[in-house]
Chain A
Amino acid sequence: MLHLHTILFLIFAGICVAGALNFLLQRHPVNSALSLIVVMGSLALLFLLLGAEFVAAVQIIVYAGAVMVLFVFVIMLLNAGEEERTRGSRVALFLGVPGLIAFFGLMCWTLSRSQLGQVQIGGYYVTTQELGIALFREFLLPFEITSVLVLVAIMGAVVLARKERQ
């Protein structure tokens, strides 16, 4: 008997993995960016299944809305074409790929052996109010430091992207 949660999880996890594989296999940067947007959208739905409504909304607004628009804008500004096929380094082939497979296999083995229990829809539900209370009481100092970080990032981006005047 399949529960609704299982069905929804399988659908959106399938879309996630398919989008990520498409991201890996496409050669044109615009196609990669669009499939990454698909991954982010279905991740937002998985966040909703886990009861994180604010995080799901922010995922759509900030990631799929702002960050990816910035990426697509830069791709189109620089007129990036298909990437040419080059021969990768031998170190990457003989060390990187087996290392990645070993990492992934170890993760899956450990996670499938662990007795972590079950998650259910509505089992834990965080409202925006609770998140805001946590953010502005316990995490007030990190929040303020983050604002300084964003300010520094804005200034750095403006300085780096400015045209040099001779």
Chain B
Amino acid sequence: MIPLSWYLILGAILFAIGVASFLIKRNIITIFMSIELMLNAVNLTFVAFASHWHQVSGQVFVFFVMVVAAAEAAVGLAIVLAIFRTRETLNVDQVNLLKL
């Protein structure tokens, strides 16, 4: 028996680390991965609340979040490939134009 708030605080810690690495990192792929970390933190919160209120729908939401994250990763990495072909860099400081 542990308090539910421990799980929620763990989710908050992971989300904060994800936000911090989103702000600090300069590599565009690592920035994408920190988005995945934030989504995982939210998933933990969903599952903890589903377990607390005895609702299946929380876990269904986690399923949808995973599907959307997979789709986002596929499209995002394709955009990274397209950027790398034209700019030949992965540093976001050097990718400051919308035009490819």
Q: Are B6 and A9 in contact (CB under 8 A)?
A: yes
Chain A residue numbers with a CB within 8 Å of B77 are 70-71, 74, 157, 161
Q: Are B82 and A161 in contact (CB under 8 A)?
A: yes
Chain A residue numbers with a CB within 8 Å of B52 are 116-117, 119, 124
Contact flag A75-B71 (CB < 8 Å), given A126-B56, A126-B59, A160-B82: no
Q: Are A118 and B90 in contact (CB under 8 A)?
A: no
Q: Are B27 and A80 in contact (CB under 8 A)?
A: yes
Query: Which of A13, A67, A112, A156 lies at the interface centre, i.e. has the most chain B CB atoms within 10 A of its CB?
Result: A67
Chain B residue numbers with a CB within 8 Å of A51 are 51
CB-CB contacts below 8 Å: A62-109 with B:
62-63, 66-67, 70-71, 74-75, 77-78, 80, 83-84, 86, 88, 92, 96-97, 100, 103-104, 107-108
| Chain B, interface residues (CB within 8 Å), range | 35 or more
Chain B residue numbers with a CB within 8 Å of A54 are 59
In the assembled complex, how far is the CB of residue B54 from the closest CB belonging to chain A, in whole angstroms? 5
Contact flag A23-B12 (CB < 8 Å), given A58-B66, A70-B77, A130-B56: no
Q: Are B70 and A67 in contact (CB under 8 A)?
A: yes
- Chain A: interface secondary structure? helix
- Please, which residue of chain A has its CB at the minimum distance from the CB of B26? A83
Q: Are A84 and B10 in contact (CB under 8 A)?
A: no
- Give the complex CA separation of A32 and B44 in angstroms: 20
- Chain B: interface secondary structure? helix
- Give the complex CA separation of A119 and B52 in angstroms: 7
- Give the complex CA separation of A149 and B1 in angstroms: 40
Chain B residue numbers with a CB within 8 Å of A50 are 7, 47-48, 50-51
The contact of A118 among B4, B9, B44, by CB within 8 Å, is B4
Q: Are B29 and A75 in contact (CB under 8 A)?
A: yes
Contact flag A67-B47 (CB < 8 Å), given A20-B13, A153-B75: no
Q: Are A52 and B51 in contact (CB under 8 A)?
A: yes
Of the A-B pairs whose beta carbons lie under 8 Å apart in the complex, a sample of 29, sorted by A's number, is: A3-B1, A20-B18, A23-B21, A24-B21, A43-B40, A50-B48, A52-B62, A55-B43, A63-B40, A70-B73, A71-B29, A71-B33, A74-B77, A77-B81, A78-B81, A86-B91, A100-B16, A103-B16, A107-B16, A111-B9, A117-B4, A119-B2, A119-B52, A126-B50, A134-B60, A150-B71, A152-B71, A154-B74, A163-B85
Inter-chain pairs besides A24-B24, A75-B29, A161-B81, 7 sampled, C-beta below 8 Å: A20-B18, A24-B17, A52-B62, A55-B43, A55-B47, A67-B36, A118-B4
